[in-house]
């Protein structure tokens, strides 16, 4: 990450957690490939979509070998949900069917609402070196699945980074932490998306809304969640947090220098019908989507660059 472009801000509030949620399941991702042969780990897989509603997918990618990423993701469609791409290292060029273009690089993110449909490409703009980051899929409520598409490119400097009083930092992509509002706020699903960097021995607390599904994904080091005898989540593992009604947040301790994503959101409790890059509520809507895509009705949708 290009830390020279990240300005930290002080915390303006504490996160007072009386009782922490626990990990009720540790998940090891599945190695797979997508796009034109990009190697990645699918951390949140289809069988967890109900449990982690409103989140549909989390892919983690990280490699120094260009053969693992050089093919990128050539033109492909999406409809019915949002994609959030967070780049720790590397450069990826985005282009869509409405003529929009953006460069996603070191520490930046792109938030895209596919809504009624986009066709886009995501291609590496580097021929060697490290490529590391994540893509999260966030569902849209039934009433918003056919909304006008938009996206927002957020350079590293646009993502608030909070210096924690006890050491470490939290980057607030969405939601709020320690009194600092994130780069993006979304209605209905109210996503919280944090990237937490903690030195060994330090503890991080975050309040979580009761009823919101939540998980963490550790990508460096190892952490203990909840009590001192709580579950240990090691690097490249996801910890699914329980929904204990008495818990008001989560407390996470770094067993060694650790970095992890903490993600939570309000479940939609609506039917999920997925066919590859299309996520709707019913099979009939999927058939309609396939027909719309086949007949070229995606490429004519004007995406507007939101501010
Ligand atoms: Mn895509």
Quote the tokens at residue 211. Answer: 């009823």
pLDDT in tens, the chain (307 residues): 555 577 899 999 999 999 999 999 999 999 999 999 999 999 999 999 999 999 999 999 998 999 999 999 999 999 999 999 999 999 999 998 878 899 999 999 999 999 999 999 999 998 889 999 999 999 999 999 999 998 899 999 999 999 998 899 999 999 999 999 999 999 999 999 999 999 999 999 999 999 999 999 999 999 999 998 999 999 999 999 999 999 999 999 999 999 999 999 999 999 999 999 999 999 999 999 999 999 988 865 454 444 3
Alpha helices in 193-264 (DSSP H): none
Q: How far apart are CA 61 and CA 70, in angstroms?
A: 12
- Domain span including residue 201: 14-295
pLDDT for position 249? 98
Lookup: tokens for 85: 């791409």
78 assigned to a ligand binding site: yes
Q: Within 13 A of 42's CA, how many CA atoms are on the CB side?
A: 15
Asked, for residue 271, whether it belongs to a domain, the answer is yes
Q: Measured in angstroms, how far is the CA atom of residue 86 from the centroid of ligand 1? A: 13
In angstroms, what CA-CA distances link 37 with 60, 67, 92? Answer: 14, 9, 15
For residue 202, the domain's CATH number is 2.60.120.10
Whole-angstrom distance, CA of residue 130 vs CA of residue 120: 23
Q: What is the pLDDT of residue 300?
A: 56
Does residue 244 lie within any of the structural domains?
A: yes
Distance from Cα 43 to the centre of ligand 1, integer Å: 17
Compute CA 106 distance to the chain's CA centroid, rounded to the nearest angstrom. Answer: 16
Task: List all residues 6 or more positions away from 43 whose beta carbon is below 8 Å from its beta carbon.
Answer: 27, 29, 58, 59, 60, 217, 238
> Is there a domain that residue 3 lies in?
no
4 in a structural domain:
no
The CA distances from residue 297 to 95, 112, 294, in Å, are 18, 19, 8
| Dist CA 296 CA 301 (whole Å) | 10
Determine whether the annotation assigns residue 94 to a binding site: no
Rounded distance between C-alpha atoms, residue 44 and residue 281, angstroms = 19
Going from the Cα of 12 to the center of ligand 1, the distance in angstroms, rounded, reads 36
Ligand 1 centroid to Cα of residue 201, in Å, is 38
What pLDDT is stored for residue 3 in this prediction? 56
The pLDDT assigned to 98 comes to 75
Within a domain: 269: yes
Is there a domain that residue 303 lies in?
A: no
Question: What is 71-91 written as a DSSP string?
Answer: T-EEEEEEBSEEEEEEEEESE
**In a 3-state reduction of DSSP, which class is residue 138?**
strand
Q: Has 178 been labeled as part of a binding site?
A: no
Distance CA 182, CA 180 (A): 6
Q: Is residue 37 part of a domain?
A: yes
Domain membership flag for residue 306: no
What does the block give as tokens for 221?
Answer: 């080091």
Count of the separate structural domains present in the chain: 1
Cα(137) to ligand 1 centroid in Å equals 10
82 assigned binding-site residue: no
Q: How far is the CA of 40 from the centre of ligand 1 (A)?
A: 14
pLDDT attached to residue 305: 43
């Amino acid at each position: 990450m290009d830390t020279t472009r990240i300005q930290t801000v002080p915390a303006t509030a504490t996160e007072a957690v009386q009782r922490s949620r626990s990990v009720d399941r540790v998940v090891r991702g599945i190695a797979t490939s997508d796009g034109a042969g990009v190697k990645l780990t699918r951390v949140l897989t289809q069988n967890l979509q109900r449990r982690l509603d409103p989140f549909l997918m989390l892919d983690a990618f990280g490699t120094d070998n260009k053969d693992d990423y050089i093919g990128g993701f050539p033109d492909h469609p999406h409809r019915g949900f949002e994609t959030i791409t967070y780049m720790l290292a590397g450069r990826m060029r985005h282009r869509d069917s409405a003529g929009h273009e953006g460069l996603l690089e070191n520490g930046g993110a792109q938030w895209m609402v596919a809504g009624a449909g986009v066709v886009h490409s995501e291609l590496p703009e580097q021929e060697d070196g490290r490529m590391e980051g994540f893509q999260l899929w966030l569902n849209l409520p039934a009433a918003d699945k056919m909304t006008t598409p938009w996206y927002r490119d957020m350079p590293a400097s646009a993502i608030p980074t909070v210096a924690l009083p006890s050491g470490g930092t939290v980057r607030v992509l969405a939601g709020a932490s320690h009194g600092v509002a994130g780069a993006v706020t979304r209605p209905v699903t109210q996503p919280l998306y944090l990237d937490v960097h903690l030195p060994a021995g330090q503890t991080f607390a975050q309040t979580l809304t009761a009823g919101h599904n939540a998980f963490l994904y550790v990508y460096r080091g190892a952490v203990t969640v909840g009590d001192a005898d709580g579950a240990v989540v090691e690097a490249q593992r996801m910890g699914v947090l329980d929904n204990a009604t008495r818990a008001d947040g989560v407390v996470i301790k770094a067993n060694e220098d650790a970095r992890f994503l903490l993600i939570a959101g309000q479940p939609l409790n609506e039917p999920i019908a997925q066919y590859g890059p299309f996520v709707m509520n019913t099979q009939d809507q999927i058939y309609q989507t396939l027909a719309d895509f086949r007949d070229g009705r995606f490429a004519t949708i004007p995406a507007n660059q939101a501010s």
